Homo-oligomer: A and B are copies of this chain.
Amino acid sequence: MKKLLGIDLGGTTVKFAILTEEGELQQQWNIDTDISEEGNNIVPTILDSIKERFNLYGLSSEDFLGIGMGSPGSVDIENGTVIGAYNLNWRTLQPVKQQMEAALGIPFFLDNDANVAALGEQWKGAGDGNSNVVLITLGTGVGGGIVSEGNLVHGISAAGEVGHLNVDPTGYACTCGNVGCLETVASATGVVRLAKDFAEEYAGDSELKALIDDGQEVTAKTVFDQAKAEDPLAKIVVDKFYFYLGLASANIANILHPNTIVIGGGVSAAGEMLIKGVEAYFQKYAFPPIKTTTKIKLAELGNTAGVIGAASLVKLYS
């Protein structure tokens, strides 16, 4: 049986994994991303690393069904090209598929990093292999990906932009130019923004308020830790966060009726408390037949979602 190679290309690290066709992880390794010289070294260093590992493990191109890769930037799935991946210094069109296939002779498939992570969680993570899974990633920004009836949803190109769902038409200005996007209140910086805003109006005793007033560094983790410790201001802040994320999750489910909405990214480290909080508002705003059938779950694969999802692109597109 042939193997799959998954690559998760990020701004600081390139992650690699070799998997069986069933998705069993056999080998994993990382290299630093070399973004010097306008990113011209990225593909060559990836190729060198693959060849080195093939030697090490006694593998050759014939052992592989294909290679899948998740990339930041605008990905052209048909042509296997990337453009505008600024954290890679890839400003101009990069013919990644052509370069990879020419060098290795293995079929190569490309999609964007958010979609690939969703595919990973759907296949081997919290999605449990169900056909309809949505991933919401709460990190520096809020991103996501949609698997519907087993396939990634792209629409024209930008489907799955759940970070820009409007959750408050009178809300905060977003970097995208709109107001009230989910990202403004549910990203790591969004949670801190909520905390600072509520702290201004809050009059009672609160350690969180004391930290903020004292000018100390407050992160999303601080806010959730304080909420766990029953700090009254922190509880107000996380409740508002739960409201926004629960409302967005309900509206996603009212459109797609997925088996599972998976919540991942750094902010989701708050864990089951977060899921319980979001679920309460989800129950309030999801259509009744959907309330009882769509599950909200924590992501399970962490940093491995990308390589696993990338590998599964081979099965999806070949």
Cβ of A148: which chain B residues have Cβ within 8 Å of it?
148, 153, 155, 159
User: A166-B250, A288-B176 in contact; A157/B255 too (CB < 8 A)?
Assistant: no
B285 contacts A155, C-beta separation under 8 Å: no
At the interface, yes or no: A158 with Cβ under 8 Å from chain B? yes
B257 contacts A158, C-beta separation under 8 Å: yes
Cβ of A257: which chain B residues have Cβ within 8 Å of it?
154-159, 161
Cβ of A293: which chain B residues have Cβ within 8 Å of it?
156-157
B132 contacts A156, C-beta separation under 8 Å: yes
Q: State how many copies of this chain the complex holds.
A: 2
At the interface, yes or no: A252 with Cβ under 8 Å from chain B? yes
How many residues on A have C-beta within 8 angstroms of the other chain's C-beta atoms? 44
Once bound together, how far apart are the Cα atoms of A288 and B284, in whole Å? 29
The proximity string for A residues 247-258 relative to B, scoring 1 for CB distances below 8 Å and 0 otherwise, is 100111011111
At the interface, yes or no: A151 with Cβ under 8 Å from chain B? yes
Cβ of A255: which chain B residues have Cβ within 8 Å of it?
146, 159-162, 165, 251-252, 255-256
A–B pairs, 20, beta carbons within 8 Å: A146-B255, A148-B159, A154-B257, A157-B257, A157-B293, A158-B257, A159-B256, A159-B257, A161-B254, A161-B255, A161-B257, A161-B287, A161-B290, A164-B254, A165-B255, A166-B247, A169-B243, A169-B285, A178-B288, A251-B255
